[in-house]
Amino acid sequence: MSQRVPGFETLAIHAGAQPDPATGARITPIYQTTSYVFNDTDHAASLFGLQAFGNIYTRIMNPTQAVLEERLAALEGGTAALAVASGHAAQLIVLHTLMSSGDNFVSARQLYGGSINQFGHSFKNFGWEVRWADAKDPDSFAGQIDDRTKAIFVESFANPAGFVTDIAALAKVAHDAGLPLIVDNTMATPYLLRPIEHGADIVVHSLTKFLGGHGNSMGGVIVDGGTFDWSASDKYPMLSRPREEYGGIVLHETFGNFGFAIACRVLGLRDLGPAIAPMNAFLILNGIETLPLRMQRHCDNALVVARHLTGHDKVDWVEYSGLPDHPNHALLQRYSPNGAGAVFTFGLKGGYEAGVRFVEGLEIVSHLANIGDTRTLVIHPASTTHRQLTDEQREAAGAGNNVVRLSIGIENAPDIIADIDQALAKA
């Protein structure tokens, strides 16, 4: 009497997407509408009171977005998801649901530079304090936790060097302290690694990267693992206490193991407003259908390029956990046996100036501030994404002055190598 569990490749194409009931359209339509007609006032009251499932207003939900959400929940092995305008919006809404002014959270310092800015600077205005810890040392998180700590945050593969986090060890630290573990899984994608299977409670993504995969749409998502007991303590009143604006309902009690995703939608997204555009949701959905094929090709190409760079005379070092002698390789094999992702860094012997000459000398590889495109992308973090950080912060984030970050695309691998070689010759 048990239910057959579909494989990842099947979920990537089918999860969440029934044929359109009105037209039979097999591809999920772009529901380019702001609002939805009610049957009568009682139907409207049921929707506003969270007593019926359905659409009210596209700032809160949209049918194209909903298919994207269900698909990501399925791919990550979560109970529910909420898609939003960007990965930054996802982080904002997750922490808004967990934190009040005066609270803190502990984050790995090995993060995307944009997240370091968001956590360290903008969140100060809300009275939210970030406490930095070392992703390579799970014990460094425990020492930062006090009675106002609300969560632990890490990246699965940390940007920009692709360091693999020991998620199960961090989950133990978090759970021993009664806290949820939030994992940004943007760099790995659920094709390579599903953090909830290793103990994470909440997964966030920038959909802009590998999930969308084609560099055309901004998006973010929050996936609820359905694993955390929000009512076990008094730390999370948005979930465990009656909500005045919804007639006194308690969201965790009412929605059970998908209560966190609902709280993010009906409190965070409703009131803060960073909704995803239906068109972007559509384009990202199309991208996800080929995620398993693309992601494997990204990994295979990245390994070929990393091996090539390892022997190059202009290159000081290559940091890619897919290389067998990388200190992180054992963790990679445990967490992500299919590959180490597309993004890695290498150091140029010529330092900062060589980095600038290299990125400016490339012909096919694009110099821009993104990762996870079909195209191979390059950036010199010290002069761009990590420019606002101090030298010390850059080193700590793996983005020192001689560092170049590549996001390897799915082009012909010898073509990628040829372009890199000609630019290295000028660097």
Partner 1 sequence: MNHDAYCNEHIAGILNSVRTIAVVGASANVARPSYFVAKYLIAKGYTVHPVNPGQAGNEILGRPVYASLADLPEPVDMVDVFRGSDAVPGVTDAILAMEPLPKVVWMQLTVRHDESAARLEERGITVVMNRCPKIEYARLSGEIGWNGVNSSVLSSRRPELRSGYQSFGIRR
State the greatest distance between any 2 C-alpha atoms of the chain, in Å, as a whole number.
73
Contact status: 36 vs partner 1 (CB under 8 A): yes
Contact status: 7 vs partner 1 (CB under 8 A): no
Contact status: 211 vs partner 1 (CB under 8 A): no
Look at residue 288 and give its three-state secondary structure. helix
Q: In whole angstroms, how close is the CB of 40 to partner 1 at the nearest point?
A: 8
Which residues are bridge partners to 131 per DSSP? 106
Question: Six-digit token pair at 213?
Answer: 């995969």
Q: In whole angstroms, how close is the CB of 304 to partner 1 at the nearest point?
A: 35
Contact status: 242 vs partner 1 (CB under 8 A): yes
Q: In whole angstroms, how close is the CB of 74 to partner 1 at the nearest point?
A: 5
Contact status: 78 vs partner 1 (CB under 8 A): yes
Which C-beta is closer to partner 1: that of 61 or that of 108?
Answer: 61
Q: In this structure, is the dihedral angle defined by the CA atoms of residues 380, 385, 387 and 391, taken in order, positive or negative?
A: negative
Which C-beta is closer to partner 1: that of 174 or that of 222?
Answer: 222
Burial 385-407, CB ≥16 within 10 A → b, else e: bbeebeeebbebbbbbbbbbbbb
Binding residues with partner 1: total (CB under 8 A): 55
Instruction: Report the residue from 27, 52, 293, 418 that binds partner 1 according to the rule CB under 8 A.
Output: 52
Cβ–Cβ < 8 Å for 235, 149 = no
From the list 150, 227, 226, 223, the residue with the least C-alpha distance to 186 is 223
Other beta carbons within 10 Å of 83:
32
Q: In whole angstroms, how close is the CB of 225 to partner 1 at the nearest point?
A: 11
Q: In whole angstroms, how close is the CB of 25 to partner 1 at the nearest point?
A: 11
Contacts of 69 (CB under 8 A, 6+ apart): 16, 80, 81, 82, 83, 221
Other beta carbons within 10 Å of 146:
10
Which residues are bridge partners to 149 per DSSP? 104
Q: Provide the angle, in degrees to the nearest 10, between the axes of the packed helices 291-310 and 278-289.
A: 70
Give CA–CA dist 407/384, Å, rounded: 15
Amino acid at 26: R
Question: Nearest 5°: phi and psi at 288?
Answer: -60, -30
Instruction: Report the residue from 49, 102, 127, 237 that binds partner 1 according to the rule CB under 8 A.
Output: 49
For 128, the enclosing helix (H) or strand (E) is none
Residues in region 260-289 near partner 1 by CB under 8 A = 261-262, 265
Q: Provide the angle, in degrees to the nearest 10, between the axes of the packed helices 413-426 and 351-361.
A: 130
Which C-beta is closer to partner 1: that of 160 or that of 195?
Answer: 195
Residues in region 156-185 near partner 1 by CB under 8 A = none
Question: Six-digit token pair at 330?
Answer: 């054992």
Cβ–Cβ < 8 Å for 93, 261 = no
Q: In whole angstroms, how close is the CB of 251 to partner 1 at the nearest point?
A: 11
Residues in region 244-263 near partner 1 by CB under 8 A = 246-250, 253-254, 256, 258, 261-262
Contact status: 359 vs partner 1 (CB under 8 A): no
Q: In whole angstroms, how close is the CB of 2 to partner 1 at the nearest point?
A: 5
Q: In whole angstroms, how close is the CB of 72 to partner 1 at the nearest point?
A: 9
Contact status: 101 vs partner 1 (CB under 8 A): no
Q: In whole angstroms, how close is the CB of 198 to partner 1 at the nearest point?
A: 19
Instruction: Report the residue from 9, 33, 55, 393 that binds partner 1 according to the rule CB under 8 A.
Output: 55
Which C-beta is closer to partner 1: that of 38 or that of 126?
Answer: 38
Amino acid at 304: V
Contact status: 2 vs partner 1 (CB under 8 A): yes
Contact status: 383 vs partner 1 (CB under 8 A): no
Contact status: 15 vs partner 1 (CB under 8 A): yes
Tokens 């009675």 — which residue? Answer: 147
From the list 253, 250, 256, 184, the residue with the least C-alpha distance to 226 is 256
Stretch that binds partner 1, among 19-27, 143-151, 351-359, 374-382 (CB under 8 A): 19-27
Stretch that binds partner 1, among 242-250, 330-338, 386-394, 411-419 (CB under 8 A): 242-250
Instruction: Report the residue from 38, 57, 126, 352 that binds partner 1 according to the rule CB under 8 A.
Output: 38
Task: Report in angstroms the alpha-carbon separations of 232 from 73, 181, 226.
Answer: 24, 15, 14
Question: Six-digit token pair at 22?
Answer: 């009105």
Instruction: Report the residue from 66, 283, 315, 331 that binds partner 1 according to the rule CB under 8 A.
Output: 66
Give CA–CA dist 19/30, Å, rounded: 13
For 72, the enclosing helix (H) or strand (E) is helix 63-76
Q: In whole angstroms, how close is the CB of 54 to partner 1 at the nearest point?
A: 4
Residues near partner 1 (CB under 8 A) are 1-3, 6, 10-11, 14-16, 18-19, 21, 24, 26, 36-39, 43, 46, 49-55, 61, 63, 65-67, 69-70, 73-74, 78-83, 242, 246-250, 253-254, 256, 258, 261-262, 265
